Amino acid sequence: MSDQPLLLALDQGTSSSRAAVFNTEGKLIASESASLAISYPADGWVEQDPKSIWVSQKKAMEGLEKKLSPKQKSCVVSCGITNQRETTVLWRRSNGEPCGPALVWQDGRTKNLCESWKNEGLEKEWRHRTGLLLDPYFSASKVAWLLNNDSSASRARNDGDLCFGTIETWLLWNLTGGQRHCSDMSNASRTLLMDLERREWVEQFTDIINLPFSSLPELVPCRSELGTINKGIPFAGVPIQAMLGDQQAATLGQLNLTQGEVKCTYGTGAFLVVNTGNKIHRSNCGLLSTLGWTDEKGTPTYCLEGSLLNAGTVVQWLRDGLNIIERSEQINELAEKVEDSGGIMLVPAFTGWGTPHWDTLARGLLIGLNRDTRKEHIARAALEGIALSVATLVELAQEAMGKDLGELAVDGGAAASNPLLQAQANSTGLVVRRPTNLESTAKGVALLAGLQAGVINDLNSLVKDRHNNAQLFFPDMDNEARQQWRAKWDEAVKRSLQWHDS
């Protein structure tokens, strides 16, 4: 192997942590992952142990380090961090001990608190300044809940010893031995606490949630000098030079650098992100305005996003809940054994709806069953349910942008499914592009770290290779059939939204 620089990406997700090394062209050299447990202590509640998140990430780093030769390891010149967003951690500054659980982005326990803020007339300004909705999905209400309900959190606040952070902040704190308490602007834009235009914390909003302004992390550009990995941790001494929320990182990893380009990531949830360039593009139909990434000076690229709370969780449910499959990839084998879903639909609202309904009380629905329904039909309906959910986001994004999106880049674990991507093409009418490497999230933050390290000059030079070895899925359904299918789907979704009213 040559002495070509290598880039380390730490990709902390909802169900696992990953560590990967890429070259400066974005080619994956090696990766390792470690699983991460999720707890559901009550209906709509989703928690993780902050210490387990860090242990899982460190374990992935240890596994990756063992895979690399000494020469490869010596070529690692920079590290980037990408992460599940909105998930909220509080801890003591003095000793790094967490205060309560990490409340995961899917957690819906703060619905009543968000409703009370809306009733107080707070949503209009909150939405204008942050680009987000008052919803349990985002970090602000999670912080308020922890401070109101966890005694260790309130004591740390009263002692002037409290730190708040989303997952990139928590990882950076641990990676640097507590030396750096920072949040990058892409992740901060998901907290309901950052002014999207000014790119600064809003003290008015921290006062509402009773969080001391001193507990906030330092707000930094997505490209930044963030310290080095501490002694005793794998890859010790490597500088940390980029942080990005996972969906923004995947957008960058897909090299969607031009306004109007779009990607969808199928992970635990599904996330559609459209590059809107250097201007904030606002939507009135449930899409979110968010910060994509910045250069080292903090100059932003903005995005428009649609967020679904459940995608990969559907496959996990078929595997672990119904035991229809033993391995996740078996869903494809089952789905391909039937020509269609046999008239059934599976609405994947297990923990509520994100875009466009923002209803934490909605629940999943399996409808259209008859005596001829087999597990193969359920498997196909599950994949189609994910695709149809995303198709709604695509339609809203096209309306908001005032133009057709043309091509949809896809990534994430479930994007390995051919039946899913064919259903995605059919339900949207778009060409779907799948790269050979589905780890676009890790790739994106690795490339950003490479820019900051000076070993990559320009990402635009990589765009020409986007279609190399990529697989394209073309719609094979006429528009009339698509509209009928979508109308039937809309009716099923409507029922999932009404279940708690009946």
**Domains 6-246 and 312-432+473-501 alike in fold:** yes
pLDDT tens digit string along 232-279? 999 999 999 999 999 999 999 999 999 999 999 998 889 999 999 998
| Contact by Cβ (8 Å): 257, 285 | no
Closest CA to 244 of 27, 50, 20, 448: 448
Pick the CATH number of 6-246 from 3.60.20.10, 3.30.420.40, 3.40.50.880, 1.10.510.10: 3.30.420.40
Please list the ranges in the chain whose pLDDT falls under 70. 1-2, 499-502
Angle between helices 111-119 and 139-149 (to 10 degrees): 110
Centre a 10 Å sphere on the Cβ of residue 23 and count the other Cβ atoms it contains. 19
Cα radius of gyration (the chain): 22
Chain centroid, CA 67 distance in Å: 27
Can you give the pTM of this predicted structure? 0.88
- Say how many Å lie between the first and final Cα of the chain, rounded: 64
pLDDT of residue 328: 84
Closest CA to 104 of 80, 81, 133, 83: 83
Domain ranges of the chain: 6-246, 312-432+473-501
pLDDT tens digit string along 395-409? 999 988 888 888 999
- Say if residue 121 is exposed, middle or buried (CB neighbours under 10 Å; 0-12, 13-18, 19+): exposed
| Contact by Cβ (8 Å): 462, 493 | no
Q: Are strands 182-184 and 218-220 parallel, antiparallel or unpaired?
A: parallel
Pairwise CA distance, residues 84 & 351, whole Å: 17
The pair phi, psi for residue 410, each rounded to 5°, is: -130, 155
Domain 312-432+473-501: CATH class, spelled out: alpha beta
Token pair, residue 380, equals: 């196909």
pLDDT of residue 1: 45
